[in-house]
Structure formats: C-alpha cells, structure tokens
Copies of this chain bind each other. A is one copy, B any other.
Amino acid sequence: MKKRATAKIIFQPSGRRGEVKKGINIIEASRQLGVDIETLCGEKKVCGKCKVRIEKGAFEKFGVISDLGHAGPWQEEEKKFIIPDQKEAGYRLACATEIQGDLLVFVPEESRAGKQVVSKAARDIEIAWDPAVKLYAVTLSSPTFEDPLGDFERMAQGLRDEFGLKDLHIDWYTLRDLPNIIRQGDWTITAAVWMDTEIIKLWPGRIEDYYGMAIDVGTTTVAAYLCNMRTMEVLDTVSMMNPQCKYGEDVMSRITYHMQTPGGLERMSDDIIEGLNQLVLKACEGTYPPKKKMKDNGGKVVKDENDQPVMVEEPEEGKIYLRLEPSDIVDLTLGGNTAMHHILLKLDPQYVGLAPFPPVVHHSLDIKARDLGIKINKSSNVFIMPNEAGFVGADNVCVLVTEKPYKSEQMQLIIDIGTNGELVLGNKKKLISSSCATGPALEGAQLAFGMRAAPGAIERIKIDPDTHEVDYKVIGREAWLKYSKPEEMQTKGICGSGILDVLAELYRSGVIEKSGRFSLNQKSNRFRKNPDNPRQKEFIIAWANETSIGKDVVITQKDIRQIQLAKGALYTGCKLMMRRMGIEKVDTIKIAGAFGTHVAKEKALIMGLFPDCDLENVLSVGNAAGDGARVVLLDRNMREDANWISRNVEYIELTVEKDFEQEFMQAMQIPHMTDKFPHLEGLVPEEVLQQK
C-alpha cells in the first residue's frame, strides 16, 4: 500500500483543520491553516513561546487518529522549555515538532498570538497644504472639423491655459477612461495631477474633495490614516497587526525566514500587501452608513436563507456619508523600518542584516499602486519613504519630517523604541543617527511572561515597600487588583509598557538591588526559586488564581537581566552619540512610538533609559512615524526634506565605537542616574538610594 504524503491536522480550541504535507513542522501547519501561534524567535527554538499539546485519541468526526508518535522526534532544545511532566502530557515546541501523521494539536492560551490593542490615533500636527496630487477642473470646447484636436491634447491645452500646467502626461490606465469621461461631463472634466506632471484620475464635471492615505508599516502594528486631501482632515484611523508576525516577531527573524524559506520573501510581501488592502477597505467602509440589525417585522426578526438575521443600513439622520471606494484613494504614502520597507518591496533584505548593513536603496520611490498590488486608484503612485541606513529606516525619516530637528536651534535627542532603538541627535547644524540593539525586552518579548499589549497584560503595577505586596492593572480592565476579585483579573502576562513599571517598582520597593540582583531582604512569600530550575530565582507578580492561564505570572532574574541589557544599550547609544556630538546635555528628549505614549517618563528616568534632561523637556510624540507619512501625503515639499534627511543624517555604527563595551557594562546598573536628578527625590525611598 502506498503511504499517504499528507496528514490531517486539527487545531484546538479554534477547531481549524485541514490536510498538510508530512515533514513540515506544526508552526508551518498553523500558518497554512490560519492559526496564530506565538513565534517570537522565528522558529529558532530559543524563545519557547510556541508550546502546544499533542492530544491522543481518535477523532472520528474528522477521521483523525492522533498520537504522540505521529509527531517527530524530541529535540534537544525543547528540554529548556518543557519539563518532564509536561513532556509526558504531550507538550512540544510547535517549531521543533515535525508532522509525521495525523495530529490534534491543542494551543494553550499563552501560546496564542492574540489580537493586539493598538493605540495609534492621529495627533494634531501642523502641516502646510501642498499635496503631491491636486485637482484641476476645466471646461473645454468640443471638437469640430476645423479643430479636430485629440481628447488628451484638448484637455492638456485647457489645463495649460487655465492653470499654467505644462508638459503634462497621463498614465495609460487613466487615458483609457478619458474619451468617455470627457463626453460624460459634456467637455467639463476634473483631473487629478501628480507632481504637476502626470494625470492619474479623471472625473466628469467639477469635483473638489478627494482622498488619500498615509500608512506606517511597523514590525508589529500597521496604522493607516484616511485623509481628505483638500481639507487635510483625518477622516479615520485604522490599524491592524502586521500579518508578517506569524513569520517571526522581530526584524531579524523575518530576515532569517526569507533566507531559509524559498519564496518566503514573496510570501511575507504578499501578506503585508494583502494587509494594506484590508486597511484601505476598512477605512473606506468607515465612510459608509453603519449596518444594524433589522429589529423586527411585526415583532419577528427577519432572517435570510441561511437563517441569519438580515442586516439593514440605518444611516444616522442628517449625516452625510461619503461612501468611498478604494479606487477613490488617489495618493498613498508608506513608511516603515528598513527591513519592513525591503520585505514589502520584495527587495532582498539579507544584506540589511549583515555588517555593514547597507540597504538596497535609500532614496524615496514612487511605484504604481497596481505594480505593488495595492488596490487603490490604479494609476496612482505610492510614495515610499526613504531609508537612512540598514537599521534606521523610513520610519525614522517619518519621525524627523514630523519633529523637524533639522530646522531647530535646540539640541534634540529623538528616541524611537520598537524592537530596535533608533536614535537621532542634533539640530539644524548637524544630525547623527544610530540604532541600538535594545532587543524586544522593552516590548515584553523574550521574558518568561512577556506578551504584547493585549487584554490581560499587566500594564501598571505598585509594590508596597513595607510588605512587598503587589497591586496591578491589566489592559482591558479598569479596576486594579485591589478593587477586584482575583478571578476577575484574567491576567496573562506583562506587556512592554508594564515591564519598566515592574522593574522600577521592584527597585523602589527594595525587592531588587542596584545591580539588578534580588535583595536578600525579601518581605513576602512572592520570592522563590523556580520549581523546575532551582538556580533561577523569581518574584511572583500575579498568583495563578488571578490568571486565565492557571499559572503564577512571575518575573525572573533572567528577565531582569534582559531589561537591564535593553536599557543599557539604549543609554549607551545616547551617551556615545552625545560624545560624538561633543555635548554633555540635550535640550529636549522626544520619545516616539507606542513605548513613549505608555511609559511613565519619571520611571524611565529612574531606570536610566535616557541621559540627563529636565523632566518637562522629555516629551512623548506618539506615533510620529505615522504622522510623518501623513506629512508627506499632504505636503510634497516634505518629500524632498525626507530625501535630504536620508542622506544628510550621519549614521554611526555604535558597536564599533571606542569604549562601547565598557560604557555598556556600566549602563546596565540601576538606578544609573538618580544622583543626577535631585527633582526625583522622594520618588525613590532613601533606604534604596543608600544601597551599594
């Protein structure tokens, strides 16, 4: 009998199932079947986040007989994350487990890549109106035997006579619309002209309002702004998780995925393009009247043939709905870090990950939406922000065109903390940039109970210095633990913005010392040795009965080291850049990104993340990357600024700077700088400050 080349897989609790090729691992199968499993390390078997449980038994309904023996052999790396009891119960790392036969795979809650809460709303920023795409309406005479001029030349002549637009050309797709639109409008026509040179859309008659989108493609989150291009109004902000997350949480994992997977680059690119199309659709749908349930028809709910209640449009009274279609979007700008930029554009990102990290291209690009597969107006040119360097990308350029340090006298330090830290220092005289390997710890990844900013994540914490008792708050729930029943918390882990809070409180309350080590003077039963690894010490933040995962949520000595490494890298970066610039103090620190929005500034200062600065001059500038994409959408001069920035900000590779390692070791200590911050007195108890 011939052996089957495929195996049937069921994922629980989602119930997704299907046939996959034998020989692939469970992560790959989860991708193919649309199940999200956390893979922070990009299947390198080092993060231990993708634990799953193989169930034994016959699942007749699906013709599946699942058995531990259907999973490939146990791997050395799994020992680190799966204790013998768990192994006995069928636990495996999904990335280390080859599929050799039918399997039913249970994905525990903590291994599921949950929906993220995104907080990337549009900020009020000043933008000058000078978009790349502008509208011009003209009324023309119709052709005669005496004047049989062609349609395009007739329109171009009208636009030249009336608006001084010279040497216009027209995209082929728009040209195809011309003969019928010009007659439909009875020789009155409105043209969308890109950069005063190319006609990219036509409407019969005269219209005034038109629409564009600015999109920030983050490693984790993609945020899009729908704008009225005439009024500059932000009509809607929509966002989603970057669908590439399933190929690895951070930039390097995705580059690795590309290098190890034939067709991987195309797959990741297609996924993000598909994601952008979903965002465009979502933004357009927001301009439609809301659909509501038809309440009744003589007291009875009206149902369709599938027995589903029929939904009807119930527009708000008096409100005018735009009803935009994707083809109404005439301009689109995109920003992202260099790796996201390269992957989206199918540019080989491997050299960005290899010293000396040259990008494939710095300069901005104008690419037809249709070439990219982005389903907006077909003739439109998508503007891709320029890159500064391999690790300082278009997202940083976005931040700079928004904050404009190159026009300021003030010495500014701009910090964008994502998976990587991107730093810019300078003013109108000089600007330097660098990146520092903060790692994902400040975002909550690679920690025992780190997670993304999703419901159930601890985001705020207080530790009583006298009792070491803990109070905390999770995302998705208003009430702190103190005001809740334990089982109401449904805690799952600690998110990025909570990490620094945890560390600051651990230190402030005396649970840990300056060096990061746990204090010998513990006041509660929360401090313990890890049951499975007695050499690892940990502090319990949430007891199992407060969680939805049935386990104590702890922070380990290793976790604390990770955060120390991150903060050390960041601080060292700042300090070495200041040394290069020959300054001792900066006038302003601006923190961009979600981290800046969520973190308490004083806690960051206590932890010594940034150099010396007055607290009131430490500013959070929110999603400046997204704002930057909006700036270049509405003011084309800023596109030139962006290109200027990309070539005139000097990139410094920190790791080859003198004294890098020494500075780094020093910077890992906490609190590094409290003695320099007299205004912080009182925030840190005296006994703590006295510690050696």
Q: Are A345 and B172 in contact (CB under 8 A)?
A: yes
Q: Which listed segment binds B: A9-17, A55-63, A207-215, A348-356?
A: A348-356
Which residues of A518-560 are within 8 A (CB) of B? none
Measured between beta carbons, the chain B residues less than 8 angstroms from A151 are: 351, 358-361
A583 at the interface (CB under 8 A from B): no
A27 at the interface (CB under 8 A from B): no
Q: Are A367 and B148 in contact (CB under 8 A)?
A: no
Q: Are A356 and B172 in contact (CB under 8 A)?
A: no
Which residues of A568-615 are within 8 A (CB) of B? none
Q: Interface readout for A368-391 with B: 1 if CB under 8 Å, 0 if not?
A: 001110000000000000010110
Q: Are A358 and B143 in contact (CB under 8 A)?
A: yes
Which residues of A74-90 are within 8 A (CB) of B? none
Q: Which of B173, B356, B362 contacts A153 (CB 8 A)?
A: B362
Q: Which residue of B lies closest to A148 (CB)?
A: B356
Closest chain B CB from A337 CB (angstroms)? 14
Interface centre among A144, A359, A653 (most CB of B within 10 A): A359
Measured between beta carbons, the chain B residues less than 8 angstroms from A651 are: 148
Q: Interface readout for A645-657 with B: 1 if CB under 8 Å, 0 if not?
A: 0010001010010
CA distance A604 to B365 in the complex (A): 58
Measured between beta carbons, the chain B residues less than 8 angstroms from A358 are: 143, 148-151, 154
Given A148-B356, A356-B148, the answer on whether A153 and B361 have CB atoms closer than 8 Å is yes
Q: Which of B147, B169, B371, B656 contacts A145 (CB 8 A)?
A: B656
Given A148-B357, A148-B389, A356-B145, the answer on whether A351 and B179 have CB atoms closer than 8 Å is yes
Q: Which residue of B lies closest to A347 (CB)?
A: B176
Interface centre among A143, A172, A357, A387 (most CB of B within 10 A): A172
Q: Are A653 and B153 in contact (CB under 8 A)?
A: no
Which residues of A449-493 are within 8 A (CB) of B? none
CA distance A19 to B172 in the complex (A): 37
Q: Which residue of B lies closest to A147 (CB)?
A: B356
Measured between beta carbons, the chain B residues less than 8 angstroms from A348 are: 176, 179-180
Q: Are A150 and B362 in contact (CB under 8 A)?
A: yes
CA distance A291 to B234 in the complex (A): 65
Interface centre among A176, A179, A359 (most CB of B within 10 A): A179
Closest chain B CB from A366 CB (angstroms)? 8
Measured between beta carbons, the chain B residues less than 8 angstroms from A357 are: 148
Q: Are A172 and B367 in contact (CB under 8 A)?
A: yes
Q: Interface readout for A304-324 with B: 1 if CB under 8 Å, 0 if not?
A: 000000000000000000000
Which residues of A132-167 are within 8 A (CB) of B? 143-145, 147-154
Q: Are A176 and B361 in contact (CB under 8 A)?
A: no
Measured between beta carbons, the chain B residues less than 8 angstroms from A178 are: 347, 360-361
CA distance A131 to B662 in the complex (A): 60
Interface centre among A150, A357, A651 (most CB of B within 10 A): A150
A346 at the interface (CB under 8 A from B): yes
Q: How many chain A residues touch the partner (CB < 8 A)?
A: 47
Q: Are B653 and A145 in contact (CB under 8 A)?
A: yes
Closest chain B CB from A293 CB (angstroms)? 39
Interface centre among A145, A180, A370 (most CB of B within 10 A): A145
Closest chain B CB from A387 CB (angstroms)? 7
A117 at the interface (CB under 8 A from B): no
Q: Interface readout for A633-648 with B: 1 if CB under 8 Å, 0 if not?
A: 0000000000000010
Q: Are A363 and B172 in contact (CB under 8 A)?
A: no
A175 at the interface (CB under 8 A from B): yes
Q: Which residue of B lies closest to A172 (CB)?
A: B367
Closest chain B CB from A7 CB (angstroms)? 34
CA distance A357 to B150 in the complex (A): 9
CA distance A350 to B345 in the complex (A): 40
Q: Are B179 and A347 in contact (CB under 8 A)?
A: yes
Closest chain B CB from A367 CB (angstroms)? 5
CA distance A351 to B151 in the complex (A): 10
Q: Which residue of B lies closest to A358 (CB)?
A: B143
Q: Which residue of B lies closest to A182 (CB)?
A: B360
Q: Which residue of B lies closest to A265 (CB)?
A: B176
Measured between beta carbons, the chain B residues less than 8 angstroms from A363 are: 152-153, 169
Measured between beta carbons, the chain B residues less than 8 angstroms from A176 are: 345-348
Q: Are A359 and B145 in contact (CB under 8 A)?
A: no
CA distance A379 to B656 in the complex (A): 40
Closest chain B CB from A238 CB (angstroms)? 26
Given A172-B345, A351-B179, the answer on whether A143 and B367 have CB atoms closer than 8 Å is no
CA distance A512 to B46 in the complex (A): 98
Given A176-B346, A179-B347, A345-B176, the answer on whether A150 and B653 have CB atoms closer than 8 Å is no
CA distance A350 to B180 in the complex (A): 10
Q: Which residue of B lies closest to A145 (CB)?
A: B356
Closest chain B CB from A220 CB (angstroms)? 25
* 9 smallest beta-carbon distances between A and B, as pairs: A152-B361, A143-B358, A150-B359, A148-B356, A150-B362, A145-B356, A179-B348, A179-B360, A172-B367
Q: List 19 A–B pairs whose Cβ atoms lie within 8 Å, in order of A's numbering.
A: A144-B356, A148-B356, A148-B389, A148-B390, A150-B387, A151-B351, A151-B360, A152-B361, A152-B362, A169-B365, A172-B367, A172-B372, A173-B371, A175-B345, A175-B347, A176-B347, A176-B348, A179-B348, A370-B371
Chain A residues at the B interface, C-beta cutoff of 8 Å: 143-145, 147-154, 169-170, 172-173, 175-176, 178-180, 345-348, 350-351, 355-363, 365, 367, 370-372, 387, 389-390, 647, 651, 653, 656
